[in-house]
Structure 1
Amino acid sequence: MASSTSLNQSTLHYSVLGSRRFSNYFWAVIVSIGGIGFFLAGLSSYLHVNLLPIGNPIDLVFIPQGVAIGFYGVAALLLATYLWLAIAWDIGGGFNEFNKETGMIQIFRWGFPGKNRRIEVSCRMGDVQAIRVIIQDGLNPKRALYLRLKGRGEIPLTRIGSPVALAELENQGAEIASFLGVPIEGL
């Protein structure tokens, strides 16, 4: 959930980390390197010219080995393109802002390009019933904060992806609940 800033005790601002996290950069690089390698190996088997600095893909029979390797290379390059575009567009990145002066809460996230790229939700502080904490451990852990609103359901406040540290989640939930003067549910 990144940083929190209190300005004059009237504004609470949290930055939300989107797809620009280390794990996405790591996998984008790995998949790009693998995809380029596989694609060049498949192309080398077709052209009978060694396009790779290591190995000897010329010895591969184009049908079926070269085609299969080339297909895996194209698939990996498409996945790498998706990862790099998600990083460039910072999908899921944004902020949560709680402002006592205006009495408003603004939640902003970046989405995929298109008419709904900017995802903005605004509500009055008086509409907040509680801050809900969800903690599920196990094979697929989930740790999230939700803003429970009157008549509008719940709005997620945490990032998607790797679970937030338990201490950080509890501290942020307590800070927001204290700032808004509402109870915390789920602890």
Structure 2
Amino acid sequence: MQEDIRQDIIIGSRRFSNYFWTIILFIGGLGFLLAGFSSYFKINLLPFANPTSLTFIPQGLVMTFYGTLSLAISLYILATLVWDIGSGYNEYNKLESLVKVVRRGFPGKNREILLTYPFTNIRSIGIKISEGLNPQRTVYLCLKDERKIPLTPVQQPSTISNLEEEAADLAKFLDLKLENL
């Protein structure tokens, strides 16, 4: 029974890099915001610097803008961490002849994203490897209507051998051919 169902867990936004950038952006943004307020009110709000000597226009205003922007981005990343955006699983069910791709989205009526594909609509398992400044190594579910559904999570690219092994195992499990995209 268990050998007929395979489930791959997908980690969403709860990765170390997102925690790291949330903390860094929050601390930096708070520092810039306090420096901008210090230059406006002429009261030192920072214990390690004296931004009261800055003129508010333009330096203090720019620091306030950057601080506000940085805090907003850190709060956005924090919200994606709390809601765990992008997490879910891929389920390959031979008993029902279905592939289910389940992901979490932003809160609302479409919070849970569920895509189901019958085996009869699946053409192959595809691998796409692109190197360069933004390398991408992705396994796709290739459908007969030429759509390509990504199955791997957004993360640091895994090694080519791991990606090929993962795709080959999946193609063997689903009894599909493996193709290079």
Q: TM-score, normalised by structure 2?
A: 0.93
Shift of 1:150: 2.1
Q: Pick from 48, 64, 71 the counterpart of residue 65 of structure 2.
A: 71
- The answer for the alignment partner of 2:83 in structure 1 is 89
1:104-143 maps to which residues of 2 (within 5 A)? 104-143=98-137
> SS of 2:99's equivalent?
strand
The answer on 1:170 being equivalent to 2:164 is yes
Query: What are structure 2's unaligned runs of at least 5 residues?
Result: none
Shift of 1:127: 2.2
Aligned-residue RMSD, C-alpha: 1.6
1:147-166 maps to which residues of 2 (within 5 A)? 147-151=141-145, 153-166=147-160
Asked if 2 retains the 8 angstrom alpha-carbon contact of 1:147 and 1:155, the reply is yes
The answer on 1:36 being equivalent to 2:30 is yes
Which moves more between the two structures, 87-96 or 151-160? 151-160
- The answer for the alignment partner of 1:4 in structure 2 is none
Q: How many residues are matched? A: 181
1:113 and 1:167 mapped to 2: Cα distance?
Answer: 37
Shift of 1:126: 2.8
- The answer for the alignment partner of 1:8 in structure 2 is 2
- The answer for the alignment partner of 1:146 in structure 2 is 140
Shift of 1:108: 0.6
> SS of 2:171's equivalent?
helix
The answer on 1:18 being equivalent to 2:17 is no
> Percent same amino acid among aligned pairs?
45
> SS of 2:142's equivalent?
strand
> SS of 1:52's equivalent?
coil
2:135 and 2:101 mapped to 1: Cα distance?
Answer: 24
Which moves more between the two structures, 56-65 or 25-34? 56-65
Shift of 1:115: 2.6
